[in-house]
Amino acid sequence: MTRQSLFRMRMAGLLRKELRQILRDPSSIALAVVLPLVMLFLFGYGVSLDAEHVPLAMVLQDRAAPARELAARFEGSRYFDVRHAASLSEARRWLDQRKVEGIVCLQSDFAAHIQRQQAASVQVIVNGVDANRARLIQAYARGVLQQWGALRHARGEAAAVPAVTVVQRVWFNEGAVSRNFLVPGLIALIMTLIGTLLTALVVAREWERGTMEAILVTPLRRIDLLLGKLLPYFFLGMAGMGLSVALAVTLFQVPLRGSLSVLFVLSALFMLAALGLGLMISAAVRVQFVAAQISIVTGFLPAVFLSGLLFDLESTPLPIQIVSHVVPARYFVTIIHTLFMAGNVWSVLLPNALALLVMAVLFIALAYRNITKRLEAP
Amino acid sequence: MTVPRRIIALIRKEFALILKDPKSRVVVIVPPLIQFFVFGYAATYDLKNVRYAVLDEDRSAISGRLLARLDGSESFARVGTLTAGHQVAEVLDGRQARLVVHIGSGFSRDLHNGAPVAVQVLVDGRNSNSALLALGYIGTIVEQFNRQLAAEGLVALSGPGVALVERAWFNPNLQSRWYIVSALGGIISMVVVMILTSLSVAREREFGTFDQLLVAPFTPAEILIGKSLPGICFGLIDALLFSLGAVFWYGVPFRGSPAALLLVLIGFVVTIVGVGLLVSSMAKTMQQALMGAFVFMMPAVILSGFTTPIENMPGWLQAGTLLNPVRYIITALRLIFLQGADTAAVWPQLWPLLVMAAVTLPVAGRLFRHRSQ
Amino acid sequence: MTTVVRPPDSDPSVTTESVLTARRLTKTFAAAKAKAEVVTALQGVSLKVDRGQVAGLVGADGAGKTTLLRIAAGLLVPTEGTVTVLGLDSARDSLAVQSRVGYMPQRFGLYEDLTVAENMDLYADLQGVPKAERRRRYPRLLAMTGLAPFPRRRAGDLSGGMKQKLGLACALIKSPQLLLLDEPTVGVDPVSRRELWKIVYELAEGEGIGVLLATAYLDEAERCHHVALLHEGRLMAEGPPRAFHDRVRGRVFLIAPPAGVAPRRIHTRLARATGIQDVTIRAGRVRLVTAADAAAGAAFDLPATWRAGMQPAEPCFEDAFMALLPRREAAFAPAAQIDDGAAAVEVGEVVVRTEGLSKYFGAFAAVQDLSFEVRRGEIFGLLGPNGAGKSTTFRMLCGLTTAGGGKLTVAGRDLRRSRARARARLGYMAQRFSLYTQLSVRENLQFYGRAYGLAGARLQARMDWAYAEFGLAAWRDRAAGELPGGYKQRLAMATALLHQPDILFLDEPTSGVDPLARREFWLRINGFAQQGVTVVVTTHFMEESEYCDRMLIMSRGRTLAVGTPEQIRALARSADLPAPTMEDAFIALAEGRAGAASSGAHQ
């Protein structure tokens, strides 16, 4: 038998074993299949940062035509669900009880001021607890007022619109739909779950169940051991990625502007980095409980919080930004956001891909160095 | 007399197990601390130093003043000055800048003539939330600029316009850190309690001590109390510590009543202990228990309103979150910290937790006796 | 230190061609705790295994058997010395060694989620066995191991014996030249053990493979060509089993108990006597090995009626083993309450009774129609191979599982109804060590004492009793997990007895326990039974059933026989087997050859 056919036979054997084990172990399936699907659907259909139909209390202390017209514009906006409050104190009570998230108050002299060409004030009060949402609500309210101003100007009722107006355009994501960045980012998280958490767990399990001793005593080389764990989970992770991309594009209507082949190549790089981390952990830790803890703290949490998946990294304090540079998911989230929404922008893709390549090589090399054919730690 | 003595023995043992096991000790201390800092500092929606570029074709004193306002803001940091229109696409594509402010060549002329002028703002929408927020910031700055111009009489505001008076209650400076950090105690204590309790029965089962316990003359209720108390204690201590941390480290105001805080935390921790024991009694091994805890926590956090508002979800999903205990604690903590709620005000959040605790605990108690067969 | 026992005439089947040679092997491990302590697992051990030879490594826990096998397999690097396997250094050329050696670890690494065939395929792939050769080899291996009917069954669903046989098949997948087996028969029933040994002999004698096998079953040493006795990392003696016999020849005696005297009582009495190295009960008679310096049976005190039944016996390996090992320091000194056997123990009232007890898991009948009674002060044994339904029965008796059908009363109560209170009178010792490993000895005792309502001075008194009775005083502040094996077992027993239960349930108390600790254990059990404690015990060591008053043998959920050891053994008596052992009886019963309904032992 040639060396090569021997190698192929071993790899095929290990691959088959790993695949069967995953398919027959409920907890692996939960981690590799169920959890990713649940999260994908939650992010695709459920979770969103876009505020619509915000319940708003309208206090009309003035019933004159301009006030009614402005109120009607609020009512007509898709961003707001307006409820009329009899008094400001009732509206405040609603705000306290979280029945509404904001109050628009037009005071009794609103129309009179407008008639007399004086500045009439519109009071907008928001519940600031959710600061992010409060800001969006304020911006929407401002938009309604601006449109109303423009309308009146066009009708010749108002002499001028504000001196300078902002004409805004959101590139890459015209409707500013948060799903378009949440779902691709989630792919990075799913690949981290499979590459780091699942891999670290299955290797630790082999130690705990004693199967590792039987494997070690076969004439496998260290490189065979490494590849035997790397390849199956690489394919599993890539399959998960493929499925996620397919769902994202077809079901959740996320635009994919870059090329699919580039996406696959760069995902493969990230997958290798995530696997490298998982294998590094598993080479050092032989207990599932500890492996799970370490991979959650070093793989999972950073992939959520230090990657730009949900929170903008550039606004975090400097130490956090520095730490984020050793998180592979950070580079991949940048890549995948660009590929999905902007396209093949090489000036973004190349440096990030290079970082991933360096990390993948480093992690896998370290994992290889720590793999041993002996029962004692090296 | 023997009954309380037995229970006390059981409780002492449970505490000793957690405190003597280095792994459990780590679970109670290290990940919570990491989470406290990561959540507190990394989980923010506030924008700082948004990199922007300027294409100023007017290059007048007045356009310079507008730009100076942007530069003076903490929220923005200028990274480039463009000279030609085609550069806009380059800097946005390559993420050199997240935002480009384009001032057209007729800016100052039109402004002096009293004609309406527009500033074009192009923003990178790859993170749509940041994009919208940045636009909001710019809108505010431009409005202040308008007011200043009017005050100086540089432009004749012949019409009144409508002055917008904006106020944010409970969080006047709209810091999203308050939003995240006030709820931190709930999330972190949930992680600790879930891991501790989901492992507690599974560990005894894996090491064979559970049979020994069942053979001893404990009633299921006694075992349940013994198993729940350590989780409740450690969960409460963690939650209260991180609540203190929120106030004294992150400077989040505490406006509500401490009694209300204690009540909702107890209600929540008891509920989570019930869920954890439920997971634990269904698991055969510690690894399955850990997976179970993970599979529960992921969606529970996503659907809790901790990072993304429940109100943004579709109706059916919002209805689904009513079954999520984490939702109630997050809401209640924010009510107490920021809105100054007292016990009466958090009651709508408290009673669902009590109901859930009343269901999960007894079910777990029944289950771990039956499953041991 | 090493005593090499060379027989006058060498076994002709053994050639001089060596497949494994260990030279002055020493292995030290850093202790688990960061202290500078070093544990010496092996010290200067030299050993040789020849082609076609079955060599046995025998020793108590911590003797270094597993370490030696692992070094030979290239899994550990020796601190000093070398192991040469088939001319290759096991540490330097471990890959080459591993492709020529079959190794079966103690817990063989079967993937429980994979089927029989899939496990074999995996190891064939890893060993690079070509497809054509597999087609020739599989049927042979499957037939040899009796696994041919279940290629599609998952390894996790196999019985203990079948798992071991599958492990062996996997280790043999590439016709190795040397086979290393680490306790291959632990937890395997006698029938499967016999089959495993048959396979090992076929391989050694038929194919000329060298076999090195570690075992804690001393009767298995008898079947080896060559035995090496290890103790605490040192080689105490080696040679063919016959050479070991010679060392204790003339020092082994059997005492047939006079009518009306239970062999157990003679056993208990003699265990205390000086000048005696070992006492056991075998086939209804008390077997004893005297100290080397004691003149044949003269040095120790023995009632004349007992001495009358005493006659010299042919030594076996176990006798030699016990005589060669240094006695342990805290050797058991039975407490004062053990009687002199002047009066037979009164048979008390029934404490445990089952009628038609059964338990189904889905369609699978774990226990079917089980009826027996246990009386106060009796030692009652539940025997059977793994999967026979012993554990399920046991769990029903303790109230851990509800009975599927039939009646069950323990101490006059139905455990299903009045659980908590009825349980206060039970003591229970689980199969695996099941105390809190992180808690200290004292904390474990305190917890279980309080669990049973002991407190204050009474608890302290009982704990003091436990320290004294089980020699645990020196260990009281050590974490239970750090105790040596024998002490763990003592602690488990101490906690089970702390509240002075009426009934003691012991589930496989001696599994994984070395021969020394097993002897100590049974001596204690005897003592408690004589104090009136009822003992129900499960075991798969057939010879241990000799210590029981009565026993029940079960297989596949059904009762095979119930009766005294004497009655059970009688079932297998035949012309060619005039004095069957308990193991013979079990095999006969399991194979349906025993005198079935003819015996009075059947209910």
Q: What are B29-56's pLDDT values in tens digits?
A: 887 888 888 888 888 888 888 899 999 9
Helices C190-201 and C160-171 cross at an angle (nearest 10°) of 10
Among A132-136, A167-171, C430-434, the range of highest mean pLDDT: A132-136
Query: Contact at 8 Å (CB) between C299 and C275?
Result: yes
Contacts of C130 (CB under 8 A, 6+ apart): A1
- Which of C100, C115, C116, C125 has the highest number of chain A CBs within 10 A, making it the mutation to test binding with A? C125
* Reported confidence tier of residue C163, pLDDT bands at 50, 70, 90: confident
Encode pLDDT of B167-213 as tens digits.
Answer: 777 777 778 888 888 888 898 899 889 988 888 888 888 777 888 88
Nearest alpha carbon to residue A328 among A311, A347, A353: A353
Annotate C570-592 with b (16+ C-beta within 10 A) or e (fewer): bbbeeeeeeebbbbbbbbbbbee
Residue C487: per-residue pLDDT: 81
Determine whether the interchain pair C128/A20 forms a contact, defined as Cβ–Cβ distance below 8 Å: no
Closest chain C residue to A221 measured between Cα atoms?
Answer: C95
Q: In this model, does residue C295 exceed pLDDT 60?
A: no
Q: What is the pLDDT averaged over residues C264-272?
A: 77
Residue C597: per-residue pLDDT: 37
Encode pLDDT of C218-250 as tens digits.
Answer: 888 888 999 999 888 889 888 998 888 888 888
Q: In this model, does residue C112 exceed pLDDT 70?
A: yes
Query: Contact at 8 Å (CB) between A182 and A352?
Result: no
Encode pLDDT of A209-265 as tens digits.
Answer: 888 888 888 888 888 889 998 999 999 999 999 999 999 999 888 999 999 999 999
Within 319-338 of A, beta carbons closer than 8 Å to B belong to: 319-320, 334, 337-338
Q: In this prediction, what percent of chain C has a pLDDT beyond 90?
A: 10
Domain range annotation of chain B: 3-42+177-370, 50-174
Encode pLDDT of B299-346 as tens digits.
Answer: 899 889 888 888 888 888 889 899 999 999 999 999 899 888 888 889
Determine whether the interchain pair C74/A13 forms a contact, defined as Cβ–Cβ distance below 8 Å: no
Region of residue B215 (phi > 0: left; psi between -120 and 50: alpha; otherwise: beta):
alpha
CB count in 10 Å sphere of residue C412: 12
Residue B142 has its nearest CB partner, among A98, A145, A164, at A164
Q: In this model, does residue C345 exceed pLDDT 60?
A: no
| Identity of residue C178 | L
Choice between A100 and C262, residue whose per-residue pLDDT is larger: A100
* Reported confidence tier of residue C328, pLDDT bands at 50, 70, 90: low
Residue C344: per-residue pLDDT: 44
CB count in 10 Å sphere of residue C467: 18
How far apart are alpha carbons B273 and B7 in whole angstroms?
Answer: 18
Residue C13: per-residue pLDDT: 41
Residue B328: per-residue pLDDT: 94
Closest chain A residue to C126 measured between Cα atoms?
Answer: A10
Closest chain B residue to C422 measured between Cα atoms?
Answer: B217
CB count in 10 Å sphere of residue A147: 13
Provide the whole-model pTM. 0.83
Mean pLDDT, all residues of chain B: 85
Encode pLDDT of C480-531 as tens digits.
Answer: 887 776 788 888 888 988 888 888 998 888 776 777 778 888 888 888 887 8
CB of B132 less than 8 A from some CB of A:
yes
* Reported confidence tier of residue B155, pLDDT bands at 50, 70, 90: low
Determine whether the interchain pair B209/C435 forms a contact, defined as Cβ–Cβ distance below 8 Å: yes
Q: How far is C572 from chain B (nearest CA, A)?
A: 36
Q: How far is B5 from chain A (nearest CA, A)?
A: 33
Residue B287: per-residue pLDDT: 77
* Reported confidence tier of residue C69, pLDDT bands at 50, 70, 90: very high
Residue B267: per-residue pLDDT: 92
Residue C286: per-residue pLDDT: 85
How far apart are alpha carbons C31 and B270 in whole angstroms?
Answer: 41
* Reported confidence tier of residue C14, pLDDT bands at 50, 70, 90: very low
Closest chain B residue to C393 measured between Cα atoms?
Answer: B373
Encode pLDDT of A27-76 as tens digits.
Answer: 788 888 888 998 888 888 878 888 788 899 999 888 888 888 889 999 98
Distance between start and end Cα atoms, chain C? 54
Q: What is the pLDDT averaged over residues A76-84?
A: 90
A·C CB contacts under 8 A: 97
How far apart are alpha carbons C589 and C586 in whole angstroms?
Answer: 5
Residue B74: per-residue pLDDT: 84
Contacts of C10 (CB under 8 A, 6+ apart): none
Q: What is the pLDDT averaged over residues C437-450?
A: 89
Structure tokens given for C276: 């005696």
* Reported confidence tier of residue C477, pLDDT bands at 50, 70, 90: confident
In C, which residues are within 8 Å of A216 by CB distance?
75
Residue A78: per-residue pLDDT: 86
Encode pLDDT of A339-378 as tens digits.
Answer: 998 889 898 899 999 999 999 999 999 999 988 888 776 4
Report the alpha-carbon angle C132-C136-C137, nearest 5: 110
Mean pLDDT, all residues of chain A: 86
Residue A158: per-residue pLDDT: 65
Residue B159: per-residue pLDDT: 47
In B, which residues are within 8 Å of A333 by CB distance?
none
Residue A329: per-residue pLDDT: 94
Query: Contact at 8 Å (CB) between A276 and A360?
Result: yes
CB of C156 less than 8 A from some CB of A:
no
Q: In this model, does residue B265 exceed pLDDT 90?
A: yes
Q: What is the pLDDT averaged over residues C95-111?
A: 84
Mean pLDDT, all residues of chain C: 80
Residues in chain C, overall count: 603
- Range(s) of chain A covered by CATH 3.40.1710.10: 54-154
CB of A156 less than 8 A from some CB of B:
no
Residue C361: per-residue pLDDT: 79
Encode pLDDT of C542-553 as tens digits.
Answer: 778 888 888 998
User: What ipTM does the predicted assembly reach?
Assistant: 0.82
In A, which residues are within 8 Å of C76 by CB distance?
374-376
Determine whether the interchain pair A132/B303 forms a contact, defined as Cβ–Cβ distance below 8 Å: no
Q: What is the pLDDT averaged over residues B66-81?
A: 89
Residue C294: per-residue pLDDT: 54
Q: What is the pLDDT averaged over residues A105-113?
A: 84
Determine whether the interchain pair B168/A293 forms a contact, defined as Cβ–Cβ distance below 8 Å: no
CB half-sphere exposure, B62, CA atoms < 13 A: 23
Determine whether the interchain pair B136/A136 forms a contact, defined as Cβ–Cβ distance below 8 Å: yes
Query: Contact at 8 Å (CB) between C218 and C318?
Result: yes
Q: In this model, does residue C599 exceed pLDDT 60?
A: no
* Reported confidence tier of residue C299, pLDDT bands at 50, 70, 90: low
- Domain A54-154 coded CATH 3.40.1710.10: yes
Determine whether the interchain pair C94/A12 forms a contact, defined as Cβ–Cβ distance below 8 Å: no
Encode pLDDT of B212-236 as tens digits.
Answer: 888 888 887 888 888 888 889 989 9
Choice between C530 and C356, residue whose per-residue pLDDT is larger: C356
CB of B287 less than 8 A from some CB of A:
yes
Fold of B50-174: abc type-2 transporter like fold (3.40.1710)
Report the alpha-carbon angle C212-C215-C220, nearest 5: 95
